[in-house]
Amino acid sequence: MGRSDCGSPWPTSARQAPACGQVTVAGVDLAEAAERFGTPVYVLDEGEFRDRARAYRDALPHADVAYAAKAFLSRAVVRWLREEGLHLDVCSRAELELAVIAGFPVERLILHGNAKSPEELREAVRLGVGRIVIDNTAEIARLVALVPRHDRQSVMVRVVPGVAAGAHRAIRTGTEDQKFGLSIDHGDAEDALERVLAQPRLHLLGLHCHLGSQITSVRPFLAAIPRLVALMARIRDRHGVVLPELDLGGGHGIAYHGDEPALEPREFADDVARHLHRACVEHGLSVPKLVVEPGRALVGPAGVAVYRVLAVKRTGSRVFVAVDGGMSDNPRPALYGARPDIRLIGRRGAAATRRVTVVGRFCEAGDVLVPDAELPTDVRPGDLLATPAAGAYQMSMSSTYNLVPRPPVVAVRGGQARVLLRRETVADLLARDLDAN
């Protein structure tokens, strides 16, 4: 995918002029974007997103590559996915309806969720969603009741292969001690598969699993494959059914700093294909069609967040640099201990640097964006700071804590910028309060 001259976490199109501190992404000056659209602002490189989508499609030409909407979704992103030939997995009614409104083919949609509402299931069946991933046995009866008598709904069953993976315990979902999926070891997965096979209104396509998030090595996926294929072989032996698909989920990790590893699509594809073929030969199975669900890996490196410094002060032995955003628009540091890269943009700073704590504006002591940032010693109020790899799980997890409106998302391409999501306003927030007495 190449590298920009700003370092690997930045979009490939990023360029820096050290003499003046200017940083551009897709030909758009980030400082000028901050002046035009205000701060905080999220800048999303459309070309980077499309290039990464194509890299997955090229590495996995015979697989279905489904973008995980939870990372970040908008009408424009849906259009990019449609045009690049990807699938899309959604996990709420609003994500589903946004995809349909934006013209995404329903047969390329996958519905996820450990606790889908009756309305979500009803809407998915009505629209003819391509795959519904069953996460618990209660969903089987609910789906059967919703599917018309002479129709069939294609489903997968999410199983737990017992493989731990992910950068933080809160995002490891391949083991027994979390809320997703049905256990292979305890027999719950096989029981659910038997129940689905007994329902003529359900068409069982295959198994689904998701090991966790921010996985930067292919090894956990390779460890899961033998267990999944063995389960597929047992279903064939006991029920005479060969499942045609295997969904390995997503969670593909990216670099947030220049020295961090990332999971590369080609390496992932080659290793997975080799191990899947080996496991299928061992059990006498034909190789199932593979489905993968990257989200962060597509949109994360395409995003840059830009903040304005509001205050600099020393408290005890620490220097705090406070910006006009924080845990409301980027909860990842507070939730997962994430540590984004950060740099001064828009001007050339002092040659000397010092270690500072970059904090947000919200009324929480835990609102710390970067606890040990290296910034120029002359950083001051009014300066602009930018963090790369900001496209995933920041705006999509944002809140209105302290009744602070959420930032806009601006797409950039070919030197042009356009707003995808407008800045939320105080009026937007107050309009929900209906007590006029």
pLDDT at 353: 96
pLDDT at 337: 84
pLDDT in tens, the chain (437 residues): 345 666 589 999 999 998 889 999 999 999 999 999 999 999 999 999 999 999 999 999 999 999 999 999 999 999 999 999 999 999 999 999 999 999 999 999 999 999 999 999 999 999 999 999 999 999 999 999 999 999 999 999 999 998 875 554 544 444 567 678 999 998 999 999 999 999 999 999 999 999 998 999 999 999 999 999 999 999 999 999 999 999 999 999 999 988 889 999 999 999 999 999 999 999 999 999 999 999 999 999 999 999 999 999 998 889 999 999 999 999 999 888 888 899 999 999 999 999 999 999 999 999 999 999 999 999 999 999 999 999 999 999 999 999 999 999 999 999 999 999 999 999 999 999 998 67
Asked whether the beta carbons of 113 and 158 are under 8 A apart, the reply is no
pLDDT at 307: 98
Instruction: Kindly write down the DSSP assignment for every residue of 283-352, as one continuous string.
Output: HT-PPPEEEE--SHHHHGGGEEEEEEEEEEEEETTEEEEEES--TTT--HHHHH------EEESS---S-
User: Which CATH number does 112-294 carry?
Assistant: 3.20.20.10
At which residue do the structure tokens 């290039």 appear? 51
Alpha-carbon distance 71 to 48, whole Å? 15
pTM score: 0.94
User: Chain-centre distance of CA 192, in angstroms?
Assistant: 28
> By C-alpha distance, which of 357, 269, 257, 358 is closest to 300?
257
User: Which CATH number does 15-44+303-430 carry?
Assistant: 2.40.37.10
Alpha-carbon distance 285 to 283, whole Å? 6
pLDDT at 170: 46
The active-site residue out of 6, 91, 280, 363 is 363
Tokens describing residue 73: 């979704």
Is 363 one of the annotated active-site residues of the chain? yes
Residues 6+ away with beta carbon under 8 Å from 435: none
Q: Spell out the domain ranges in the chain.
A: 15-44+303-430, 112-294
Q: Which helix (H) or strand (E) holds 144?
A: helix 138-146
